[in-house]
Amino acid sequence: MNLQPLGDRLIVEVLEEEESTASGIVLPDTAREKPQRGRVLAVGPGARNEDGMRIEMDVAEGDEVIFSKYGGTEVRLGTDEILILRESDVLAKVTPRTSKKKSKRELTGATA
């Protein structure tokens, strides 16, 4: 892809949601919610503050994000469908789930 976002914009590949419910009912295209998850493909240099200095972006290429349902501009490049968003349209970054936290007993080495 040869697109470079400007300012505080980022390019996101939309990740499709599951096509069935938890009980196994297959949903048709018209009943599905608009996807809100995506993978960041490119980020701009960041917005400028009042002094003209760049404000670093909180997201980076490869991050998985959740964005506002109707935010951004949809663009079709060949067969790929991408979304150009402002950083303010990003609601959260999806972080990998870590293993279960250790209890105080395990951390201190206490025995029962």
Domains annotated for the chain, with CATH where assigned, are 9-108 (2.30.33.40)
Q: Return the number of other C-beta atoms located less than 10 Å from residue 64's C-beta.
A: 17
Instruction: State residue 3's pLDDT score.
Output: 86
Specify the residue for token string 């892809």: 1
pLDDT, tens digit, 9 for 90 and up, residues 47-96: 999 999 999 999 999 999 999 888 889 998 888 889 999 999 999 998 88
| pLDDT bucket at 45, cuts 50 / 70 / 90 | very high
Alpha-carbon distance of 8 to 92, in angstroms, equals 16
Nearest to 41 by CA among 72, 76, 74, 11: 11
Instruction: Tell me if 87 sits within 8 A of 55, measured CB to CB.
Output: no
Instruction: Tell me if 44 sits within 8 A of 57, measured CB to CB.
Output: yes
9-15 and 80-86 beta bridge pairing: antiparallel
Instruction: State residue 69's pLDDT score.
Output: 84
- Tally DSSP H helices, then E strands, for the chain: 1, 6
